[in-house]
Amino acid sequence: MKSPAITSAVTVLLFMGAVAIRVSGRPYQSEQIKSIADTAKLSDVSLNLSCDLCKVLAGIIDDLVSSNRTEEEVIAIATEICIAFNIESERVCRLMTKEYKDMLFGVLVGHYLSPDQLCGSILGDSCAVPYDPKSEWNVTLPSTKKPPVVVPKPPKPGSPQLRILHLSDIHWDRMYQEGANAVCGDTLCCRSNDGKPSDPANGAGKWGDYRDCDTPQIVIENLMQHLAQNEKFDLIYVTGDLPAHDIWNQTREDQVDILKEITGYFLKYFPGIKVFNAVGNHESAPVNSFPPPYVTGKNSILWLYGAMAESWIDRAKWLPPDTRTTIMQGGFYTTMVYPGLRVISLNMNFCNDENWWLQINETDPAGELQWLIGVLQKAEDVKEKVHILGHIPPGWCAKVWTANYYKIVDRYESTIVAQFFGHKHKDFFEIFYDEKTLSRPTNIVYIGGSVTPYSQTNPSYRMYTVDGNYNGTSWVVLDHFTHILNITEANLTDKPEWKLEYSAKAAYNMKSLLPSDWEEVVEEFKENDDMFMKFYTYYFKSHVTTSCDSNCKASMIIM
Ligand SMILES: *[C@@H]1O[C@H](CO)[C@@H](O)[C@H](O)[C@H]1NC(C)=O
Ligand SMILES: *[C@@H]1O[C@H](CO)[C@@H](O)[C@H](O)[C@H]1NC(C)=O
Ligand SMILES: *[C@@H]1O[C@H](CO)[C@@H](O)[C@H](O)[C@H]1NC(C)=O
Ligand SMILES: *[C@@H]1O[C@H](CO)[C@@H](O)[C@H](O)[C@H]1NC(C)=O
Ligand SMILES: *[C@@H]1O[C@H](CO)[C@@H](O)[C@H](O)[C@H]1NC(C)=O
Ligand SMILES: *[C@@H]1O[C@H](CO)[C@@H](O)[C@H](O)[C@H]1NC(C)=O
Ligand SMILES: *[C@@H]1O[C@H](CO)[C@@H](O)[C@H](O)[C@H]1NC(C)=O
Ligand SMILES: CC(=O)N[C@H]1CO[C@H](CO)[C@@H](O)[C@@H]1O
Ligand SMILES: [Zn+2]
Ligand SMILES: [Zn+2]
């Protein structure tokens, strides 16, 4: 998940590093940076202002003559800019610049970008024309003809059903402390080193906090106990982002530790139940840093993929050994769940606009999409059905990658029966339409809520009922049930309760959950404000702090 605060901080930080590399020629003057900061009068950098800031700085700096700077000098300059522009608190600036330095050097040194291209790449085309590593590329689809589309029949009454638990964005903060300052001013608060607030109302709640705070251990343990005691399920899908948002201060060891500890939780509480994970953008250090396979040496990401394989294959045995090859190649894999049902777990960091390594080459990084086509074609050939898991939902990813993905889903619409994603921390869904007419719904993406309350939501989990496991099942999702922890109540009563928030069928009067049914629901939203407000409430997991007028409604129903 990227909150505006994080996006802005990370963005500007990356920019600073880039600029710092280009600050050169004259002896570095701290006064100069301070005076730019004063002139721009930007004590509070917000994302929309940072385009101007980007150009101002890049322009001035571009006038400076090139010379050779050491890494230490660059970090010193970047830190100075971070502090002068009040981008983060001083302690965060000092750590953050170090955290990002290797990625910045890896991507930028020897790879020249003009100031405008740079601002465009970082801040999007509304700021400037971005640098384009390769504007367009197309995956190759096999020549096998697309089979006729057959709408799945509803299962006979009394047919067996599977229950699948979906958890996303756990964001466990091991430094969370009850009573710590929840309004510390940094990207993440409520931590043991944030001190106590002068006003007790600003202290972190025992069972979590709606402000910029991640999940306390006590909530994770309570969730696991609740699930083990009160829920029955056959499988677990976990769609990424295990570590907290202290993105200025994470080591590779920290991230691997969290992965191991959470693997341990699942093994302890749900022995014998398979967990299928997808890798999130926060799994790496620094956040979003997912170098493609051609980046080797100290910047290689094998430290993370190796740890994933070790946890998921060797230790937990959730995955068979034959998944290791693609996990080590790019953090993605496929495996059979039952005869006839295949899971495909994608690494969506290869379409993550904030993954700076893609600036080098955005063309199907690690060959992931071409691999996906191969897997789907084989599945179609032997009449398997597929559930796709991933972290960043399609549509929130790089444009060309997403366009190719859209094409693939269109081609294999009858094989892919559901998609499960996370990252946004909110509860919503996406409908895919056929490429030819853009009017026939073909596929559905469930975006599960987060376990973390970060920010301004209640923690949640979801249970899907799925047709299966029996001969001739369609493997489609039949209904889903979202449960939330009301933090206000938990903190008041000190008795955390995970309550059913809603079921899709009951809340939206659905007869089934096929893509066409979801389209009807969206049509209903347009006509029926009460129905839309239900969706709006669930979107925030029943912690609604803003109202939604007709513009807001229209912007939420984009098609
Ligand atoms: C930047 O965005 C914020 C929040 O959307 C808004 O309040 C502010 O006026 C904007 N500033 C400029 C200069 O556009
Ligand atoms: C920078 O370093 C390179 C190689 O070390 C050298 O060729 C070049 O002259 C240096 N440039 C300046 C401006 O010192
Ligand atoms: C990719 O496919 C689109 C549509 O089929 C086509 O217009 C475009 O030229 C292709 N681009 C490349 C680089 O092959
Ligand atoms: C950075 O992390 C270390 C260990 O994880 C911790 O002791 C330290 O307080 C953290 N510093 C900040 C500023 O968060
Ligand atoms: C980018 O990657 C693609 C796919 O691996 C490759 O075909 C292409 O040559 C690369 N482009 C550059 C400029 O390296
Ligand atoms: C499904 O059908 C096949 C052959 O028709 C049979 O061998 C198998 O036992 C059946 N499986 C189940 C779960 O009924
Ligand atoms: C959460 O708990 C508070 C305090 O009991 C209550 O006022 C609020 O309505 C609850 N929210 C939901 C969605 O149940
Ligand atoms: C964040 C939050 O809700 N904090 C509250 C948790 O509950 C205690 C006890 O009622 C309150 O003092 C906190 O303000
Ligand atoms: Zn997240
Ligand atoms: Zn995320």
Q: What is the pLDDT of residues 199-249, one digit of tens each?
A: 999 999 999 999 999 999 999 999 999 999 999 999 999 999 999 999 989
pLDDT of residue 25: 37
**Model confidence over 254-298: pLDDT tens digits?**
999 999 999 999 999 999 999 999 999 999 998 999 999 988 888
| Across 527-556, average pLDDT | 95
| Across 141-158, average pLDDT | 95
Share of the chain above pLDDT 90, in %: 70
Question: Please, which residues bridge with residue 419 across strands?
Answer: 388, 445
pLDDT of residue 24: 40
Contacts of 528 (CB under 8 A, 6+ apart): none
Query: Residue for token digits 């979202």?
Result: 482
Tell me the pLDDT band of 35, cut-offs 50, 70 and 90. Answer: low
Where in 125-213 does DSSP place strands (E)? 161-167
Ligand nearest 25 Cα, by number? 2
Index of the ligand 4 atom closest to the CA of residue 246:
14
What's the CATH class of domain 163-516? alpha beta
Q: Is the pLDDT of residue 156 over 50?
A: yes
Ligand nearest 50 Cα, by number? 1
Q: Does 177 sit in the ligand 8 pocket, CB within 6 Å?
A: no
Lining residues, ligand 3, CB within 6 Å: 136-138
Q: Is the pLDDT of residue 432 over 80?
A: yes
Q: Is the pLDDT of residue 346 over 70?
A: yes
Is the preceding peptide bond at 455 cis, omega within 30 degrees of 0?
yes
Least confident of 92-96, 445-449, 487-491: 92-96
Vertex 97 angle, CA 63 and 296, to 5°: 95
Is the preceding peptide bond at 528 cis, omega within 30 degrees of 0?
no
Q: Is the pLDDT of residue 171 over 70?
A: yes
Q: Is the pLDDT of residue 317 over 90?
A: yes
- Residue 2 Cα to ligand 10 midpoint, Å, equals 6
Tell me the chain's radius of gyration from C-alpha atoms.
Answer: 24
pLDDT of residue 30: 59
pLDDT of residue 134: 57
pLDDT of residue 189: 96
Q: Mean of the per-residue pLDDT values for the chain?
A: 87
- Residue 110 Cα to ligand 2 midpoint, Å, equals 13
Is the preceding peptide bond at 347 cis, omega within 30 degrees of 0?
no
Higher pLDDT, 349 or 43: 349
Hey, where are the domains in the chain?
4-123, 163-516
Report how far residue 218's alpha carbon sits from residue 449's, in angstroms, rounded to the nearest whole number. 19
- Residue 485 Cα to ligand 8 midpoint, Å, equals 14
Lining residues, ligand 1, CB within 6 Å: 46, 48-49
pTM value?
0.87
pLDDT of residue 524: 96
